Amino acid sequence: MPSDPKMLNLDSSEKSTTVFQKLTETKKKDRGTAERHGYIHIYSGVPKEERARSGVSIATRKRYKKNIKSWDQINDRILQVQMDLNGHLVTIIVAYDPNDDANVADKDEFNTDMTELLEKISNRKEIIMIGDLNARTGWRVDDPIVGLYGENTLNKNEERLIELCQQNSLKMLNGWFKHKQIHQYTWRQPTPKASSKIINTANTMYETIKKEIHEAAFEALDKQQQPRVKSNELWWYEIVEKLVED
């Protein structure tokens, strides 16, 4: 099947700490699950009778099978999975937004489907949205959604994604932390200086946040030890605190 070769590119190392990986534009038809190469693969595509296009999926190692609580294949561009991560029920949304040059009707349909899905999710639940959102959102100063470390380029999908985030209290975390340029792009066109900005996987976000807090804590403790303030919103606090103490 069209998506099978992509499954071969997943990290098969048992030492890997990656909990899940997303795949977009799989062009795999129908909806279902499969187990291959040590992964559980949940996929959502167009009906069998239609021409292959788009398609989204998520793959997680078999050892995390017990962490998967439910999933819902919305359509060929949106997939929702509920996972128990460190004792917290997290909603993971894999999304494949129409590209910047797509017609307005397709973009509106995607936005409507995504908005309806997000409205059904309790505002008390943690949401991680990953995938290929085809938006270049630049960077902003003192903005609650877009961080300071994005790229300089914008495209027509920018405002759509920002508005979606505003309506649902979401942040674009890939622009909140400084990265080397080599780590900012997942794909490059065969034309000079034409690249697509990375939308980090949740695991990369998690590791980046943990690393930044860890380094900041060390720097603060070396200069002057201050009382630590716990935040109930940062459910990985205990992990970071243990790293700092070690």
**Taking the model in full, what pTM does it have?**
0.69
The CB density around residue 136, as the number of other CB atoms within 10 Å, is: 19
Please give the pLDDT value at position 98.
Answer: 93
Can you tell me the distance from the alpha carbon of 196 to that of 137, in angstroms, rounded to the nearest whole number?
A: 11
Please give the pLDDT value at position 212.
Answer: 64
* Per-position pLDDT tens, the chain of length 246: 333 434 434 554 455 567 888 889 999 999 999 998 889 999 999 999 999 999 999 999 999 999 999 999 999 999 999 999 888 899 999 999 998 889 999 999 999 999 999 999 877 789 999 989 888 888 888 888 888 888 888 888 888 999 999 988 898 887 888 877 666 666 666 655 555 554 444 455 555 565 666 666 666 655 444 444 444 444 444 554 555 555
The CB density around residue 198, as the number of other CB atoms within 10 Å, is: 15
Domain 4-200: CATH superfamily, name plus number? Endonuclease/exonuclease/phosphatase (3.60.10.10)
Instruction: Name the H helices within 93-246.
Output: 104-120, 158-167, 202-223, 237-245
Tokens of residue 45, six digits: 């595509």
Residue ranges covered by each domain of the chain: 4-200, 201-246
Residue 199, sorted as left (phi over 0), alpha (psi -120 to 50) or beta, turns out to be: beta
